[in-house]
Amino acid sequence: REVQASQRSVAIIAEMIHTASLVHDDVIDDANSRRGKMTVNQIWGERKAVLAGDFILSAASVALARIGNTTIISVLTQVIEDLVRGEFLQLGSKENENERFAHYLEKTFKKTASLIANSCKAVSILGCPDPTVHEIAYQYGKNVGIAFQLIDDVLDFTSCADHLGKPTAADLKLGLATGPVLFACRQFPEMNAMIMRRFSKPGDVERARKYVLQSDGVQQTTYLAQRYCHEATRQISKLRPSPEREALIQLTEMVLMRDK
């Protein structure tokens, strides 16, 4: 069926929030490439890059106000709050191994999955009055979003920089322990000390990468992503059969199969 103008606006706003978050992320990470091109901060410098990200967010806010639906405004502004909270979570580390994984998944939800979950919810609110459908849309987006980031964390270890469009092992260089690292830590406990010092000593990044590739960390993270995609499919299958529903199910498979 035809997409409503307001639903299309939600898609545009979601993409703008996402793009702004990438521009700001690249400043925080001092990254020099994104999607195979130079980052904004490399071209214009940090100050202008921060302002550029702010400008995109302000344009998204104007577009959001134009939809004129207070529920949609509330749902999508939650994404911006989650992005900031997720960035703060990423700056911290947990000493306890069990807490560490929960911390990682919470950060993954706030930095990636919240955008997809709340965008799906917003579009469903505009298209259907049934709260049950809104919750299905939210749960679908949440699970697809977490799976997407888990695969992204896998590709950081398995893909080459040219294919990925950004440097590999970037997370380790930033001191971040993602899924493959946390799973590898169970087989190589000596990684605990490296995680707590955020891979800051000379040779830490190379050693950690070697441990990850020697362990089943990549396979375990991929398996976890499959579980999240399975849950996304289970949620969206609650809706009646349609070409749109089938497309959303196929999307979960594409998330798992992507290589860049």
Domains of the chain are: 1-68 (no CATH), 78-257 (1.10.600.10)
DSSP notation for 207-225: HHHHHHHHTTHHHHHHHHH
CA–CA gap between residue 27 and residue 66 (Å, rounded): 30
pLDDT of residue 2: 84
pLDDT of residue 95: 74
pLDDT of residue 41: 97
DSSP notation for 82-117: HHHHHHHHHH---SSHHHHHHHHHHHHIIIIIHHHH
Give per-10-residue mean pLDDT for the chain (260 aa).
92 98 95 92 97 98 96 97 95 81 96 98 97 98 98 91 71 94 95 93 95 96 98 98 96 93
CA–CA gap between residue 257 and residue 250 (Å, rounded): 11
CA–CA gap between residue 118 and residue 208 (Å, rounded): 35
Helices (H), 159-216: 161-164, 170-173, 179-187, 191-196, 204-214
CB 75 within 8 A of CB 125: yes
